[in-house]
A = this chain, B = another copy of it.
Amino acid sequence: MKVADRLAAMPTPALLLEESRMLANIDRLRERTARLGVALRPHLKTAKSIEVARRLLAEGNGPAAVSTLREAEMFFAAGVRDILYAVGIAPEKLPRVAALRSAGCELSVILDSTDQADAVVEASRAAASPIPALIEIDCDGHRGGIGPEDDALIRIGCQLSEGAELRGVMAHAGESYGAVGEEAQAEFAERERAVAVRAATRLRDAGLRCPVVSVGSTPTALAARNLAGVTEIRAGVSTFFDLFMAGIGVCATDDIALSVLTTVIGHQRSRGWILVDAGWMAMSRDRGTANQAVDQGYGVVCDAEGRVIPDLILASANQEHGIVTVRPGSRATLPDFRIGARLRILPNHACATASQFDAYDVIPAEGGKALARWERFGGW
C-alpha cells in the first residue's frame, strides 16, 4: 500500500513523523556542533524511541542525555552506554542508578546540593564503585543549579572527588526559550558557556579534576558562536522541532517533523468551526505559543499532505474533540472539508504531543518505501 493510501486508511488521531525532516534536523545540529568543536550529547526525552535514538546517536551507543531513569533503562537495554540522567538526583533513585552502572551502563547524575552529594557518596560506598556526578550550575534563574560563585560549589566538588566521582559541571539556559531571534539566543549561549566554564575553573583552581563542561538547550545549541572551554552540548527538541521553536525563530514551520493526523467529525458553520478528532488527548494541553507574538492555539492546521493551510488553527480542544477555526483577526475563509476528510496538525511542543502517543507512524525519507511504525515509551 502506498504511503498516501495508508495515511488515508489509518485510524486517527495518529502521530506522524516525517523522517526526511527529522534527518535534516539531526544533520543541522551535528554540523553546528562539529563546527564549534564540541561533542554532541543528544537529549532523548523528546523522542523516547529506540529507532529515533539509533538515527540520532552517531555510533548508536551514545553519548546521550535522558530525563527519567526509565529512559536510561530502556536506552541502555537497546545498546546506549554513555548516559547522563539530567534531572537533579533524588536519594531514593540511587539504587536504580547503581544497578544500571553495575550492569555496565556508563550512567552519570547531576546535583546541586551537599545533601545530594552526601547521598551519592553513600551510594558509591554501598556499591563499592564511584558514581560520576556533574554539578548543576544556574546560568539564568530558570530552575535548578547553584551560581558559579557559590561557596557550596567547592564543598560539593570536594565531597564528590573524595567519595564518588566529580565528572564535571553542567548548565542549561532554559530561559533561552523566551529569547526571540538568533542574536538574543546567542547571548544566552554565551552566558551559559561563561557560567559553566567559570564554575569549572573554580573547581580546577581548588585542585579538583573537572573533565566535563556540558551546556545546552535547543536555542543555545543552534545559536552559540563560541564554545571555548565547553566539552559537550545537549539538545532535545531540535530533532523534531515544533511551533514554539518556530515562534522564536529557531526553525521554520516546514522543519517541524511531527504532526497529528486527524479526521473531520463535524461542522458548526454558523460559528465558523470545524470539529476534528484531535483533542487535547492527542495534542496535549501544551499552549506554549499562547504568550508568543503569534498564538497558534493548539496547533497549525495542514492538509493531508502536510502543507500549511494559511491562518487555520486548532483554536480549542476538549478531550477527544478539537475545534478548527480561522485565526482571530484573519480574513481567510473557512475551507469546507467533508466529514471524514484528513488533516494534519503541527504541535506547539513536540515533547508534550509525542508523549500522548505509543508510537510514531513514520513517513519514510525514501519515496516508495512503506510506512514504518516506531514504538515510543513513557513512564518513569
Q: Cβ of A320 < 8 Å from any Cβ of B? A: yes
Closest-by-CB residue of B relative to A71 is B320
Select which of B14, B68, B277 is within 8 A of A87 by beta carbon: B277
CB contact under 8 A between A380 and B265, given known A87-B321, A285-B284, A319-B351:
no
A272 CB → nearest B CB, Å: 12
Q: Cβ of A168 < 8 Å from any Cβ of B? A: no
A288 CB → nearest B CB, Å: 8
Residues of chain A having any CB pair with chain B under 8 Å: 9, 11-14, 45, 67-69, 87-93, 96, 112-113, 115-116, 119, 138, 141, 143-144, 174, 263-268, 271, 273, 275, 277, 280-282, 284-287, 318-321, 323, 338-340, 349, 351-352, 355-358, 378-380
Select which of B14, B112, B355 is within 8 A of A266 by beta carbon: B112
Chain B residue contacts of A286, Cβ below 8 A:
280, 285
A32 CB → nearest B CB, Å: 23
CB contact under 8 A between A340 and B265, given known A284-B285, A380-B12:
no
The 7 closest A-B pairs by CB, nearest first: A285-B285, A88-B265, A115-B339, A91-B340, A285-B286, A90-B263, A67-B320
Closest-by-CB residue of B relative to A67 is B320
CB contact under 8 A between A115 and B380, given known A92-B263, A143-B318, A320-B67:
no
A323 to B12, CA, bound (A): 35
Interface pair A321/B143, CB less than 8 Å apart: yes
A230 CB → nearest B CB, Å: 22
Closest-by-CB residue of B relative to A377 is B358
A318 to B175, CA, bound (A): 12
Chain B residue contacts of A351, Cβ below 8 A:
319
Chain B residue contacts of A112, Cβ below 8 A:
266
A279 CB → nearest B CB, Å: 9
Chain B residue contacts of A267, Cβ below 8 A:
113
Interface pair A88/B275, CB less than 8 Å apart: yes
A273 to B380, CA, bound (A): 23
A79 CB → nearest B CB, Å: 23
Chain B residue contacts of A379, Cβ below 8 A:
357-358
Chain B residue contacts of A356, Cβ below 8 A:
355, 378
Interface pair B12/A144, CB less than 8 Å apart: no
Interface pair B380/A338, CB less than 8 Å apart: no
